[in-house]
Amino acid sequence: MPPRLLPAPADAATRAAVFPRVRWMGSKHKLLPHLAQAFADIAPADGPGTALDAFSGSGVVSYLLKHQGWAVHSNDYLGFPGVVASAGVVNHDTRLDADDVARILGPAADDRDFVRRTFTGVYFTPDDLEFLDSAWSHIDRMQGGGRAVAIAALCLAAARKQPRGVFTLTGDLSRYDDGRRDLRLSLREHFAERVADYNAAVFAGPRDCEVSSLEIGALEPRRYDLVYLDPPYAPPADDNDYTKRFHFLEGLSRYWVGDTIMWDTKSRKLPKRVTKFSSRRTIEEAFREVFKQFHDSPLVLSYSSNALPDLDTLVGLLREAKDDVEVRRVPHTYHYGTHRTAVRRQVDEYLFLAR
């Protein structure tokens, strides 16, 4: 077989940057060039093999790995990340055409109204909510890559229209209206544009890829040629709860099928999923268990100097499972807080390469 021609790390990072961007807490969009270099450095001598992106979130790192030629297994315990990875990583060739989009934008295929009944006065306009019900009446009849692209575009439409992209904010959000186009478009208009974004991201990678939606400890023990770990950062204050911020995208990614809504909450939240990564008290144990779980796979770990545990503790925990631990520091600016009180903070983003 002729050698596969794979892009240089900088080129792979540039290509991966076209992946439709969602404001996911901890997204590594800005760190793609550093990650591309780390993955190239840790790859086996005969080229990329199997890679697990164990906490895939926005999907952009799985998408980078696909561009670098890895056979990617993309995992996150939430369903929304699974949908975006199905659309852009597992899917090698299916795009939605103009007829598909016209059908989804057209009259509803059934009379479902769960979204309208549940979220009127909470999020979006009545027309937007009606569109979400109507779009799902068509999506429910779709399968495979096309279905994934449609759901991913619908979720991204909702994420872009919601101020700051988080669903902790409800009711009248006019105070957040800074004139941005994203806040003014209807969800129908957004959907058509977001489909175009996903269509542009679809490409045929050299290897089959897969997706799962499991708590990391539930992943089947298996050796990979690379395991990328980007767990939720445990901040010294505040929480790292993704469901609280993104429950609407999570529910929308499956039309809330099987979900138990917390009706006593204003935002119609979904229950939080607590694991050892959720608390400062248990985070060290969480890391110890994960490093043990993947002790025979080369690891790349992302973590922040602004989170717990600290650098020395993490290096110590990695050395319990690995002989060779290298630390790279990337200065990174985070934006914290609300629209009005947003502050920029300079932190180091650490990349640990452990073999």
Ligand X SMILES: C[S@@+](CC[C@H](N)C(=O)[O-])C[C@H]1O[C@@H](n2cnc3c(N)ncnc32)[C@H](O)[C@@H]1O
Q: Which residues bind ligand X (CB under 6 A)?
A: 24, 26-28, 55-58, 60-61, 76-78, 81, 215-216, 230-232, 242, 275, 277
d(CA 237, CA 271): 21
> Whole-number minimum distance, CB 30 to ligand X, in Å?
10
Comparing CB distances to ligand X, the nearer of 175 and 272 is 272
Comparing CB distances to ligand X, the nearer of 159 and 185 is 159
> Whole-number minimum distance, CB 130 to ligand X, in Å?
29
d(CA 219, CA 216): 5
Comparing CB distances to ligand X, the nearer of 120 and 305 is 305
Comparing CB distances to ligand X, the nearer of 141 and 272 is 272
> Whole-number minimum distance, CB 177 to ligand X, in Å?
27
Provide the token pair at 122: 């909470």
Comparing CB distances to ligand X, the nearer of 164 and 188 is 164
Comparing CB distances to ligand X, the nearer of 240 and 267 is 240
Comparing CB distances to ligand X, the nearer of 185 and 211 is 211
> Whole-number minimum distance, CB 26 to ligand X, in Å?
3
> Whole-number minimum distance, CB 334 to ligand X, in Å?
12
> Whole-number minimum distance, CB 133 to ligand X, in Å?
26
> Whole-number minimum distance, CB 84 to ligand X, in Å?
9
